[in-house]
Amino acid sequence: MPYRVCFVCTGNICRSPMAESVFRARVAEAGLDGLVEVDSAGTDGWHEGDGADPRTVSVLETNGYGSDHAARRFRPEWFSRLDLVIALDSGHLTALRRLAPTPADAEKVRLLRSYDIAAGADLDVPDPYYGGMDGFEECLEMVEAASTGLLAAVREQVEEQAA
């Protein structure tokens, strides 16, 4: 059974689809395709069915990432099939832990930047939606930096499952 990771932000059109695309690429580069499934969702359903924000798509494509996406809202029943739920900021972390049906499910929720040893004390990935392209580029830098540590943690879990 594959190890399943879901990235979650507010509307699932900026940060979480960016993290999904970057991490999916890291998983493929690591040869873990088929062993790790990656997707994303939002804590709210305002944009359900919409594609990613055009600025997200632009930043992803400029940096060599895929950008096929349709926004959706995170559902509490998904916890039972997910191994790791990655929140993009502390507000998402709180909301997701409240949604968790069990304490074990709540423990599956982690902040993305907690996997970046250089992140310091501020572990939130700021929402770039109301700003310019520089915010989306900064978001990508943060996502890429955290993805290295996240991949190492996920690889360890996949190897433990296989043992």
SS3 state of residue 5: strand
9 is catalytic: yes
* N-term to C-term CA, the chain: 13
| Cα 48 → chain centroid | 17
* Identity of the amino acid at 93: L
Catalytic residue among 44, 72, 97, 127: 127
Q: CA–CA separation, 26 vs 66, rounded Å?
A: 12
Note whether 8 and 88 are within 8 A (CB): yes
Catalytic residue among 9, 14, 83, 110: 9
Catalytic residue among 6, 15, 113, 155: 15
Note whether 3 and 154 are within 8 A (CB): yes
DSSP codes, 109-127: EEEGGGG-TT--S------
Strand partners, 40: 7
15 is catalytic: yes
Q: What is the DSSP letter of 117?
A: T
Q: What is the DSSP letter of 68?
A: -
| Active site residues per annotation | 9, 15, 127
